């Protein structure tokens, strides 16, 4: 048997044989293992190893295929891959050409979530001091969300109902699957280039942890943190917390609530307006009432009554004076009357008739009394008046 001539292969020949044997026997593999030495090369290809306690196996996952992995692999994560064994002749090595990769269990994603959460927390990305205030009256809100589905429709109808003065900018974005995280990051950057956006709502409807995974990616968390425009997250349902929620300026349990938090309610605003206008009405009424009662007080006050009193006092005084005057006048009149009587009696003494009676006579010429000799004209007739009659001569 020793005589049998050993066949001698060239390296290439034997490698070809090994390649054929191995590759044809390990065409469809599913392997569970822990990721290590994960490298996402700038070419887009992924290089990593899978290991367990006792063995390690090299893997490649080509660009174009790795697009379908919904999460970013990281060392330590347990994954299940499918693929085939390939032999790389130039290096004489074998490796797994990976077709699909998924977490070995939900626990793996949970663990990745906790790791990232811890890391970003330690870096201070969740700190309150970085939370930007959400403006009360937003003029324009950018919605980074899928342009299809219930989430965007719900948000539009909430905006319509609550605050139709606002303008919505819808930024259609993939929110699920391998490209989603990158698209979210890009769109956050794009919106930040626009100058007139007051608030960003980053939203997605409900789904499984795998569906929501883009929002647990580190690049998304960092992009949310970096945004100069305040970001409200509304991702999944009430119970779903994502890393993006921790980083965002305000977390809403759902997309609809995110829109509610972003907009004032017009019914409330109308209430505020109504309250103001009734406050204004009651203020003006109480101001007017104050003036009214002030005027009333003044009118009823002693100061305003006093002039009436004074008038009465004056009129009484006038009455008194009148009486006095009347009295005085009457007295004067009486005195005068008696004086007149006296005078007339005195005058009576000088009465012509009395003189005539005593024997004096009056001479009249041209109906004038002649009282002096020089006034007597001898050539004219004259009348002599006696007490008992006249004689014409």
Binding site for other proteins (CB under 8 A): 137, 139, 142, 147, 156, 159-160, 163-172, 187, 190-191, 266, 269-270, 272-274, 276-277, 279-281, 283-284, 287-288, 291
Select 58 or 266, whichever has its Cβ closest to other proteins.
266
Number of C-beta neighbours around residue 25 at 10 A = 8
How does strand 29-40 pair with strand 78-88?
antiparallel
Distance CA 31, CA 51 (A): 10
Least separation in angstroms between CB 186 and other proteins: 11
Select 187 or 216, whichever has its Cβ closest to other proteins.
187
Select 284 or 325, whichever has its Cβ closest to other proteins.
284
Residue 381, SS3 per DSSP: coil
CA distances from 127 to 4, 121, 227, 246, 261 (A): 78, 8, 15, 9, 20
Residues ≥6 apart with Cβ < 8 Å to 186: none
Distance CA 172, CA 174 (A): 7
Least separation in angstroms between CB 164 and other proteins: 4
Least separation in angstroms between CB 170 and other proteins: 4
Among candidate residues 241, 194, 197, the one with its CA nearest the CA of residue 221 = 241
Least separation in angstroms between CB 213 and other proteins: 24
Distance CA 34, CA 247 (A): 29
Select 208 or 276, whichever has its Cβ closest to other proteins.
276
Least separation in angstroms between CB 142 and other proteins: 8
Side-chain half-sphere CA neighbours of 98 within 13 A: 27
Least separation in angstroms between CB 295 and other proteins: 11
How does strand 29-40 pair with strand 46-51?
antiparallel
Distance CA 232, CA 252 (A): 7
Least separation in angstroms between CB 180 and other proteins: 16
Select 77 or 197, whichever has its Cβ closest to other proteins.
197
H or E segment to which residue 259 belongs: helix 255-262
Least separation in angstroms between CB 40 and other proteins: 28
Select 145 or 176, whichever has its Cβ closest to other proteins.
145
Distance CA 186, CA 180 (A): 10
Least separation in angstroms between CB 259 and other proteins: 11
Select 288 or 334, whichever has its Cβ closest to other proteins.
288
Residues ≥6 apart with Cβ < 8 Å to 36: 48, 49, 50, 51, 56, 75, 76
Vertex 297, ends 296 and 303: CA angle to 5°? 115
The answer to whether the CB of 228 falls within 8 A of the CB of 195 is: no
Select 272 or 325, whichever has its Cβ closest to other proteins.
272
Select 111 or 170, whichever has its Cβ closest to other proteins.
170
């Amino acid at each position: 048997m020793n005589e049998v001539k050993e066949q001698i292969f060239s390296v290439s020949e034997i490698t070809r044989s090994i390649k054929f044997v191995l590759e044809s026997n390990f065409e469809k593999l599913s392997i569970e293992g822990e990721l290590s030495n994960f490298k996402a090369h700038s070419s887009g290809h992924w290089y990593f190893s899978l290991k367990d306690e006792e063995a390690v196996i090299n893997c490649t996952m080509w660009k174009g295929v790795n697009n379908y992995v919904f999460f970013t692999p990281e060392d330590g994560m347990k994954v299940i891959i499918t693929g085939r064994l390939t032999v790389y002749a130039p290096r004489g090595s074998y490796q797994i050409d990976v077709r699909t990769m998924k977490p070995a269990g939900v626990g793996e994603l949970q663990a990745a979530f906790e790791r990232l959460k811890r890391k970003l927390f330690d870096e201070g990305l969740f700190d309150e001091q970085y939370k930007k205030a959400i403006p009360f009256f937003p003029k324009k809100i950018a919605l980074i969300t899928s342009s299809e589905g219930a989430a965007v429709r719900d948000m539009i109808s909430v905006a319509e109902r609550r605050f139709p003065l606002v303008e919505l900018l819808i930024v259609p974005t993939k929110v699920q699957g391998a490209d989603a995280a990158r698209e979210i990051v890009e769109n956050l950057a794009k919106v930040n280039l626009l100058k007139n956006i007051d608030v960003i709502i980053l939203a997605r409807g409900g789904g499984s942890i795998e569906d929501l995974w883009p929002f647990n990616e580190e690049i998304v968390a960092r992009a949310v943190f970096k945004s100069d425009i305040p970001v409200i997250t509304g991702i999944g349902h009430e119970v779903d917390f994502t890393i993006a929620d921790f980083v965002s300026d305000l977390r809403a349990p759902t997309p609809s609530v995110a829109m509610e938090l972003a907009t004032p309610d017009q019914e409330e605003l109308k209430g505020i307006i109504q309250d103001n206008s009734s406050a204004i009405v009651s203020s003006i009424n109480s101001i007017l009432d104050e003036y009214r009662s002030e005027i009333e007080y003044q009118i009823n006050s002693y100061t305003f009554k006093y002039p009436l009193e004074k008038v009465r006092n004056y009129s009484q005084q006038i009455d008194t004076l009148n009486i006095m005057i009347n009295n005085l006048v009457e007295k004067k009149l009486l005195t005068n009357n008696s004086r007149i009587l006296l005078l007339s009696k005195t005058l009576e003494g000088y009465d012509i008739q009395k003189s005539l009676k005593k024997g004096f006579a009056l001479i009249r010429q041209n109906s004038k009394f002649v009282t002096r000799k020089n006034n007597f004209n001898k050539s004219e007739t004259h009348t002599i008046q006696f007490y008992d009659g006249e004689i014409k001569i």
